[in-house]
Amino acid sequence: MTDPEQPEQPEQPEQPGRSGSPAPSPAPHRVRVTSPRVHAGRPRAHSVTSEIDAQTELGAVYIRSLVRSQLRLAGLVLALLAVVVGGLPLLFVLVPAVRETRLLGVPLPWVLLAAVVYPVLVGLGWFYVRQAERHERAFAELVDS
């Protein structure tokens, strides 16, 4: 019987070199230990959309580039509009013959304001929309790649 206060001593295996010992046992075979998680987490390649969604510095660079290209386009269209619409009054002041000319009984400045300005506005609007969509398509292709 063992004494409950004394800890149990693990049995020492007998060493093969001593007398009275059994024959040496074969070496234990190796056991391969594997994880139950077969597919361990691998680092994922970050897509541009995840960078933008996470509002990282790289995502901010992509958004700034889109905004900057749209602002350049808006500035160009605004400058063209200023030249056309602002240039007509200058033309009327600097060239008095244009101011006094009549076309079918209507003063030429009225005809120019009615027949030139509106088609130019429509043309600039069409140009702006077409270019803005082109910038957005290029950005979307960059994001998708």
Q: Residues 13-33: pLDDT tens digits?
A: 555 555 556 667 778 888 887
| pLDDT tens-digit series, residues 90-131 | 888 898 888 888 888 888 888 888 888 889 899 999 999 999
With 0-12 CB in 10 A as exposed, 13-18 as middle and 19+ as buried, what is 122? exposed
Instruction: Please tell me the pTM assigned to this model.
Output: 0.57
Report in angstroms the alpha-carbon separations of 113 from 106, 110, 124: 12, 5, 16
List, in order, residues 6 or more apart from 143 with CB less than 8 Å away: 47, 48, 49, 52, 62
How far apart, in whole angstroms, are the C-alpha atoms of residue 48 and residue 40? 24
How far apart, in whole angstroms, are the C-alpha atoms of residue 20 and residue 74? 99
